[in-house]
Every structure is written in structure tokens, then in C-alpha cells.
């Protein structure tokens, strides 16, 4: 089992990254090390998500560094300053619709940024003599199931499914994945990688399906459903994703990759109907009135039909399993958004409002 001490988390002010940092510091007794959170605080990053972590662990076990993963000099300096032995790379441009409207930022962060981190790790972790690397280091890359393309009604993505990315987002993530595995293969850099299905949970930016719908319901706004609403996604509670990532980081051999999924497929429209029930109950809304707000809008360009992940490898080899079922996870998520209105208000800036207007305005 690896002992990971000085961990550089990229994108730790985003949805999954902030939950990962919280998971390690609050719920993982076998982690006693330090975390450095490098985040550029793009529209999707919010340092307020970790304000309580900063006040409890800041300066001792938690350090925030504001900066860009493409900034080679900065990244190199952090390896030295904190003696980084582990990288967990979450930072990304992550929203498919944004990648359709403006792909350039996706290539910069998801491809060039990933390369910059890998190359800085290669330089920092070289052994003094010989061509090898220190034995106590690891670069873990966070991938998505979207790199595999789109499924028909049957079948699942396995770790050996050929890549077939179909949006600028998934293409840029696929390029990052390939670089990670190439650095492992070519240079022997100790790398591991996970490809996960759709996450949901606290602190997710409200452009994504579940928080968008929760907040629109609470504000009495239309509930926009793309196309016929029958696209299928596999959903996993964010803490289960993070426990899987930690399991892989601790137990997996270098060079390995694992799929992570919830074994929990939902058509978008069925998910929305279920969510309407949960939100209406918790917020005391008139369920029929909320249902009548469902509005079908023009589909996303190139919208993949179905994603479904086969996660039997991580279950079999590393004994990981999901612990939160969908009803419980959704209930926790809705409760979190109801209790954290200040967090929501703080990120719904002018930039976000303008983006919503551009993305949904054109679909009416």
C-alpha cells in the first residue's frame, strides 16, 4: 500500500476536487499528510467551498495556491516548496456545452495543462542516479467515461473499449488520458488513471443537470430538457467517486487504469421526474405545478445517446464498492442546496447568467 504524504490536488476548488479534499481531511484516517490545492479559480472554481477546511486545517495540512496548471514555472516551484510526492489531477474545463461554444480553453487546460503537470512531475521525481523515478511518488489522473463515445441500447464501457470521443470536451480529455498513459509507458513515470461516469452531490456548479434543475425548481423557472429526454447517463454520488480514486491511489499498481461507475442508469427525463419528487417534498412545493414546468428544448449538438460503465475491475481487484444509493444521494444533494443558498448566490455571477442566456436562449 502506498503512503502518500504531500499531495498536490489540481482543481480542488471545483466540484469533485473540493469534495475530494474534504473526504481526505475529514473522513480518511489513514491519510495523515498535507494537501496543496492548485486552482485557477475559473468561473467553476469557488474557494468558498473549502472555507471551513481552510480555517481548520489551513497552514498545517491544507494550503491553497491560486494559479494555472499551464504555468510551468509555478508548477515546478510548488513541487519544490511542498516536497510534492503525489499529484491528483482534477483541474479541467468540464462542461460539454461550453466546449461546443468555445473549445480553445479545453485544449489549453485539458491537454497543455495535463502535459505541463506530467512533465514537471517527470523532472521533479527523477532519481539522482540512473534513469528511474523515486518509488514513493504517484501521478493520478481523473478521467471521464465520455472518452469512450456513445453506446446503443446494450453494452458497457470497459477499460479496453476503444476511445471514440465525440465532443471537444471529451476529445481534449482523451488527449490528456493518452499523455498520462504515454508518460507511464515511455518514461516509467508512476501513473494511475480512473474514468468515471456522471457525478452528483454538494458543491456542483449549477450549469450541470442536477443542480440546474434543483435551483430552477426552487425559483419556479422552466426545467429545460434536451431533445426527447431519453439520453441515458450512469450516476454516482461524488463521495463514492472519491473513495474509489483514493482506493486506486493507495492500492493499484502503477500504469493501471480503472473505470468507476454507479451501475445506476437513468434516462434524463426519468431522472428529472424522480428529482421533482425529492425537491417538492423537501422544499414543500406543489409537485404538479413543478412537473408542468418541464420544457423540451433543442438538443445539444452531437449529443451522445447512452453512457454506461462496467466497473467490475475495480470491484474485483481492489474491493471497492459504491456505498450511497441514488435515492439517498439525491436526498442529501437536495438538502445541501436548500441549506447553502449563500454558496449558490455567490457563484451565480454575471458571467454565469450571461452563459445561461447564451446556451439556453438559442434553444427556445
Q: What is the set of active-site residues?
A: 145-146, 169
- d(Cα 59, Cα 56) in Å, to the nearest integer? 9
Residue 218 exposure: Cα atoms within 13 Å on the Cβ side: 19
Cβ distance to ligand NAD smaller for residue 291 or 315: 315
35 binds ligand NAD (CB under 6 A): no
Rounded to the nearest whole angstrom, what is the least distance from the CB of residue 19 to ligand NAD in the complex?
Answer: 8
Taking a C-beta distance cutoff of 8 angstroms, is the pair 306, 232 a contact?
Answer: yes
Choose one: 131-139, 193-201, 261-269, 270-278; the region binding ligand NAD (CB under 6 A). 193-201
Rounded to the nearest whole angstrom, what is the least distance from the CB of residue 255 to ligand NAD in the complex?
Answer: 20
**How long, in residues, is the chain?**
364
Query: Of 8, 22, 39, 149, which lies in the binding site for ligand NAD, with binding defined by CB under 6 A?
Result: 39
Strand partners, 266: 233
144 binds ligand NAD (CB under 6 A): yes
113 binds ligand NAD (CB under 6 A): yes
Cβ distance to ligand NAD smaller for residue 10 or 264: 10
40 binds ligand NAD (CB under 6 A): yes
Asked whether the CA dihedral 332, 338, 342, 347 is positive or negative, the reply is positive
Cβ distance to ligand NAD smaller for residue 192 or 198: 198
Asked whether the CA dihedral 274, 279, 281, 287 is positive or negative, the reply is negative
333 binds ligand NAD (CB under 6 A): no
Rounded to the nearest whole angstrom, what is the least distance from the CB of residue 135 to ligand NAD in the complex?
Answer: 27
DSSP tag of 300: P
Choose one: 12-20, 25-33, 244-252, 283-291; the region binding ligand NAD (CB under 6 A). 12-20
- d(Cα 83, Cα 341) in Å, to the nearest integer? 38
Instruction: From 11, 21, 80, select the one nearest 46 (Cα to Cα).
Output: 11
- d(Cα 10, Cα 89) in Å, to the nearest integer? 5
Instruction: From 260, 235, 195, 212, select the one nearest 329 (Cα to Cα).
Output: 235
**Count of chain residues binding ligand NAD (CB under 6 A):** 30
DSSP string of 233-289, one letter each residue: EEEEEHHHHHHHHHHHHHHSPTT-EEEE--S-EEEHHHHHHHHHHHHHHHHT--HHH
Residues 62-101: x/- map of binding to ligand NAD (CB under 6 A)? ------xxx-------------------xxxxx-------
210 binds ligand NAD (CB under 6 A): no
Cβ distance to ligand NAD smaller for residue 172 or 252: 172
Strand partners, 199: 236
49 binds ligand NAD (CB under 6 A): no
Query: Of 24, 36, 196, 309, which lies in the binding site for ligand NAD, with binding defined by CB under 6 A?
Result: 196
Query: Of 14, 165, 202, 261, which lies in the binding site for ligand NAD, with binding defined by CB under 6 A?
Result: 14
Cβ distance to ligand NAD smaller for residue 210 or 218: 210
Cβ distance to ligand NAD smaller for residue 209 or 218: 209
Report 156-185 residues binding ligand NAD (CB under 6 A): 173
Nearby residues of 342 by Cβ (< 8 Å), 6 or more positions away: none
Question: Can you read off the three cell numbers belonging to residue 207?
Answer: 450549469
217 binds ligand NAD (CB under 6 A): no
Cβ distance to ligand NAD smaller for residue 206 or 290: 206
Rounded to the nearest whole angstrom, what is the least distance from the CB of residue 197 to ligand NAD in the complex?
Answer: 7
The C-alpha cell 488513471 sits at: 193
**Count of C-beta atoms within a 10 Å radius of residue 59:** 8
- d(Cα 343, Cα 296) in Å, to the nearest integer? 29
Cβ distance to ligand NAD smaller for residue 204 or 216: 204
| CA-angle at 151, arms to 211 and 313, nearest 5° | 85
- d(Cα 160, Cα 147) in Å, to the nearest integer? 12
41 binds ligand NAD (CB under 6 A): yes
| Residues making contact with ligand NAD (CB under 6 A) | 10-11, 13-17, 39-42, 44-45, 68-70, 90-94, 109, 113, 142, 144, 173, 196, 198-199, 205
Amino acid at each position: 500500500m502506498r503512503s502518500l504524504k504531500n499531495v498536490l490536488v489540481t482543481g480542488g476548488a471545483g466540484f469533485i476536487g473540493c469534495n475530494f479534499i474534504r473526504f481526505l481531511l475529514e473522513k480518511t484516517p489513514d491519510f495523515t499528510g498535507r494537501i496543496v490545492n492548485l486552482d485557477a479559480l475559473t468561473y467553476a472554481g469557488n474557494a468558498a467551498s473549502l472555507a471551513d477546511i481552510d480555517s481548520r486545517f489551513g497552514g498545517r495540512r491544507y494550503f491553497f495556491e491560486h494559479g494555472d496548471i499551464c504555468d510551468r514555472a509555478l508548477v515546478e516551484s510548488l513541487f519544490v516548496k511542498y516536497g510534492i510526492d503525489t499529484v491528483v489531477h482534477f483541474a479541467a474545463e468540464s462542461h460539454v456545452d461550453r466546449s461546443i461554444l468555445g473549445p480553445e480553453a479545453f485544449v489549453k487546460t485539458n491537454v497543455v495543462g495535463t502535459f505541463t503537470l506530467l512533465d514537471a512531475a517527470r523532472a521533479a521525481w527523477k532519481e539522482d542516479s540512473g534513469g528511474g523515478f523515486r518509488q514513493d511518488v504517484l501521478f493520478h489522473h481523473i478521467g471521464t467515461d465520455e472518452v469512450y463515445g456513445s453506446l446503443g441500447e446494450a453494452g458497457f464501457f470497459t477499460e479496453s473499449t476503444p476511445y471514440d470521443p465525440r465532443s471537444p470536451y471529451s476529445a481534449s480529455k482523451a488527449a490528456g488520458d493518452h499523455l498520462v498513459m504515454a508518460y507511464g509507458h515511455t518514461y516509467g513515470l508512476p501513473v494511475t488513471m480512473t474514468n468515471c461516469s456522471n457525478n452528483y452531490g454538494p458543491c456542483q456548479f449549477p450549469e450541470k443537470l442536477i443542480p440546474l434543475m434543483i435551483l430552477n425548481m426552487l425559483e419556479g423557472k422552466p426545467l429545460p430538457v434536451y431533445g426527447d429526454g431519453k439520453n441515458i447517463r450512469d450516476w454516482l454520488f461524488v463521495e463514492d467517486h472519491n473513495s474509489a480514486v483514493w482506493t486506486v491511489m493507495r492500492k493499484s499498481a502503477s500504469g493501471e487504469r480503472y473505470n468507476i461507475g454507479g451501475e445506476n442508469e437513468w434516462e434524463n427525463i426519468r431522472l428529472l421526474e424522480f428529482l421533482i419528487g425529492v425537491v417538492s417534498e423537501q422544499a414543500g412545493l406543489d409537485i404538479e405545478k413543478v412537473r408542468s414546468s418541464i420544457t423540451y428544448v433543442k438538443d445539444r449538438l452531437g449529443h451522445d445517446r447512452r453512457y454506461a460503465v462496467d466497473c467490475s475491475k475495480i470491484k474485483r481487484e481492489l474491493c471497492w464498492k459504491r456505498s450511497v444509493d441514488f435515492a439517498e444521494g439525491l436526498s442529501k444533494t437536495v438538502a445541501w442546496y436548500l441549506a447553502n443558498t449563500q454558496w449558490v448566490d455567490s457563484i451565480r455571477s454575471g458571467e454565469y447568467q450571461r452563459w445561461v442566456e447564451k446556451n439556453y436562449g438559442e434553444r427556445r
